[in-house]
Amino acid sequence: MNTAQKIAIARNIYRLVRSMRSALGLKDTVVVSRNGIVYELDLSEGIDLAIYLNDYFERNTRRALDRLVVPSSVVLDIGANIGAHTLHLAKLVGPEGRVLAFEPTDFAYGKLRRNIELNPTLAPRIKASQSFVTCDTGGSVPEEIYSSWPLESDDRLHARHLGRKMTASHANAVSVDGLYSEMGDRVVSLIKLDVDGFECDVLRGARETLRGPRPVFVMELAPHVLTERGSSLGELVSFFVPNGYSFQDERSFEALPSTAQGLSRLIPTNGSINVVARPT
């Protein structure tokens, strides 16, 4: 199932939920607790609605993180959006661990900050930055980046994944390799990467990290959005395989092909798969 099909299903569910809540005089904004984490949600947004519906958002990714994250470790959440994985990662790393969360858009970063504030026990473990992670610290930042998946019709939506661009007017550019100057002797053990086509930009700024500390990556592979950014699945694979990484299925942890051609056969048209890339 591709993203557009998932959004179509979510829109139908949203209409039902909105109808039921409206009959009770309730609005789309709601504060809820899911799996011990408190969120402020806008049910007209796809990610928010999935969290509201019994924490359904990217459950397989959350389960993979449960298996991979080591207590007291440092992890990066690149493309944190409203914090669905950021807050879960904060639970996993524990009081001695650290989560560095990066979200460039004004829209999602504001929601991320709000959700962190609603969880005062987890907040001290998280450093959130309104940053665009790319190849060069201090480089340019796009004026707008996709970070909203509305469940109502909008002429500004992406033709395939139905996302909406939001402004990134206050974001600065940072690179993964550049972060180590701020971390002292702490080493990043895992990176959750979901940046809708900017993956190769991130990886160009993580060459030393891929050769040295070699953290585990949990990430989305979506060839159609990589192509839109002028990169490719082949380029993405080239950052990992020469540095001794292999790919695994996010759900089963079974081995996946280590070539772009082999991986592309597993990905539906205009769709994506989530994988784990880990050093062998």
C-alpha span between 145 and 106 (Å, rounded): 10
pLDDT for 8: 85
Q: pLDDT digits over 217-250, tens only?
A: 999 999 999 999 999 999 999 999 999 999 999 9
Q: Is 100 helix (H, G, I), strand (E, B) or coil?
A: strand
Q: Name residue 15's amino acid.
A: R
User: How many other C-beta atoms are found inside a 10 Å radius of the C-beta of residue 186?
Assistant: 14
Q: For 20-36, how does the pLDDT look when each residue is reduced to its tens digit (9 = 90+)?
A: 999 999 999 999 999 99
CATH number of 58-279: 3.40.50.150
Instruction: Give the pLDDT confidence of 51-73 residue by residue, as tens digits.
Output: 999 899 999 999 999 999 999 99
Neighbours of 75 (CB within 10 A): 27
Q: Across residues 67-83, what is the average pLDDT?
A: 97
**Residue-wise pLDDT tens digits, 112-152:** 999 999 999 999 999 999 999 999 988 899 999 999 999 98
249 CB-side CA count, 13 A: 8
Could you read off the pLDDT of 143-174 as tens digits, one per residue? 999 999 999 877 888 887 889 999 999 999 99
Question: In the prediction, which pLDDT does 143 show?
Answer: 97
pLDDT digits (tens, 9 = 90+) for 178-207: 998 777 778 999 999 999 999 999 999 999
Tokens of 273: 């798969």
Mean pLDDT of 6-18: 92
Choose among 179, 221, 198: nearest CA to 75: 179
State the pLDDT at residue 181.
73
Measured distance CA(61)–CA(194) in Å, rounded: 11
DSSP secondary structure string for all residues of 59-72: HHHHHHHHHHPPTT
User: How much is the pTM?
Assistant: 0.95
